[in-house]
Amino acid sequence: MASSSLKKHDSNSCWTPKQNKVFERALALYDKDTPDRWQNVAKAVGGNKTPEEVKRHYDILLEDLRQIESGQVPIPNYKSLGTTTTKVDEEERLLKYLKLQ
């Protein structure tokens, strides 16, 4: 998850999309009960990340999640592509069909 706050708060340590994905996988592999968790995650991520940088990145991720879950971050309005329809599109189609009957 590469959010704006990750970039803002961790500007002295750039994280590539690939490193973020490895970071997420490493968090799943090395859970909170794993001894030396942050050293293990840092080693998995690579790029000379220190355990402190990895822990800071994790703390920022948690804060992002808290903001999203509390409704402080608006949900993006994705437009449907191609043949993909939204529930509203489907309802409108059905209403038009019913009016024709």
Average of per-residue pLDDT across 6-24: 75
In the predicted structure, residue 12 carries a pLDDT above the cut 50? no
pTM given for the model: 0.63
In the predicted structure, residue 101 carries a pLDDT above the cut 50? no
In the predicted structure, residue 88 carries a pLDDT above the cut 90? no
Cβ partners under 8 Å of residue 23, min gap 6: 15, 41, 44, 45, 54, 57
The CA-based diameter of the chain, rounded to the nearest angstrom, is: 68
Question: Which of 12-29 are b and which e, b meaning 16 or more Cβ less than 10 Å from the residue's Cβ?
Answer: ebebeeebbebbeebbee
Q: Measured between alpha carbons, how far is 87 from 73 in angstroms, rounded to an integer?
A: 23
Does residue 33 or residue 5 have the better pLDDT?
Answer: 33
